Amino acid sequence: MRHGGTRTLITGGTGFIGSALMARLRAEGLHPLGTCRGTSLNQRCVSAPPLEADGDWSNLLRGIDTVVHTAARVHVMRDTSSNALDAFRAVNVKGSLNLARQAASAGVRRLVFISSVKVNGEEIRHGRPFAAENDLAPEDAYGISKAEAEAGLKAIAAETGMEFVIIRPPLVYGPGVRGNFATMMRAVALGLPLPFGAVTDNRRSLVGLDNLVDLIVTCIDHPAAANQTFMVSDGEDLSTADLLRRLGAAMGKPARLLNIPPALLGAAAAMIGKRAVAQRLLGNLQVDISHTCRTLGWKPPISLDEGLRRAVQGGIR
């Protein structure tokens, strides 16, 4: 979009990632077209057909060169759907591939798909970070739906000649972040004692919102991004204890950490049915971004500490 007047459509233009991407492109003097749903409509976004239906995107795709698909049914801790996998597939697979087919028919040159590291799995094995070329091993409904969408997008691209780019972020944090990261921020801000002082041997990859957006912008028109899959992170992996301490430093309020043995925390979590939560806090999930950096000549422009500072400055929803 920065080179040659590319016109870009961003789905989920008022979402956590989409709104930041819209702001970045507008700041560069560009005019992306963002889509949003019902109550989220504003002067900079247009109404989009429901992703979970066979909606007609033809009017929105007219004249579009690149689609950045950020809209999705997102991973939630407490899913109330009677069949979670069917619900995720309806939006993340069927809806995404319907958009992709119509984009190809409309002559869209490239579709950038925001996937998830969860297609690779929930935890690394034998100390090897997840890489783009690894076999996929999703474990939950959200990860399965994203993996199936990736496969379908590649098939459509091979059939039609439309380029694809797949980006797999780990946990994304930034201004206005929600979910587990927001809960962690509140706990540190309130000075609550947290039992993770001894969780120093695990490693987790994160990506700040500004770093993810920078990679997406790079992938909109970078020639070497065509038909590639990219892992993304801040380039620095942290233990849970270190993350909490760095988050406290960003707040100017030291985290209060208790030194409870990780094995004891894991056992307690299993007893109360919180094994998955414990895995995210105690386990290892790292990504290898060397392929991304080498292929695109890219590196995360914002340090992890600066990303945490921006998240704190942006407040907690």
Return the pLDDT at 297.
97
| Three-state DSSP state, 110 | strand
Residues whose CB falls within 8 Å of the CB of residue 102, separated by 6 or more in sequence, listed in order: 56, 57, 58, 61
Domains in the chain, please, with CATH? Answer: 8-175+206-234+286-301 (3.40.50.720)
In this predicted structure, the answer to whether residue 76 has a pLDDT above a threshold of 60 is: no
Q: Which of 52-66, 98-112, 153-167 has the lowest mean pLDDT?
A: 52-66
DSSP strand E in 127-211: where? 163-168, 171-173, 206-208
- Give the highest mean pLDDT range of 1-10, 130-139, 198-207, 263-272: 198-207
Q: Which of 145-149, 168-172, 273-277 has the lowest mean pLDDT?
A: 273-277
- Token digits for 119? 């297609």
Q: What is the pTM of this model?
A: 0.92
* Distance between CA atoms of residues 132 and 231, nearest Å: 6
- Burial pattern 168-180, b for ≥16 Cβ within 10 A else e, equals bbbbbbbbebebe
Q: Facing residues of 113 across strands?
A: 69, 166
Return the pLDDT at 2.
45
- Token digits for 111? 């579709």
- Token digits for 46? 């247009």
For 19-67, the pLDDT digits (tens) are: 999 999 999 988 899 898 765 555 567 888 888 878 899 999 999 999 9
The catalytic residue positions are 142
- At 308, the pLDDT band (50, 70, 90 cuts) reads very high
Return the pLDDT at 4.
45
* Distance between CA atoms of residues 31 and 122, nearest Å: 37
For 182-241, the pLDDT digits (tens) are: 999 999 999 999 999 999 999 999 999 999 999 999 999 999 999 999 999 999 999 999
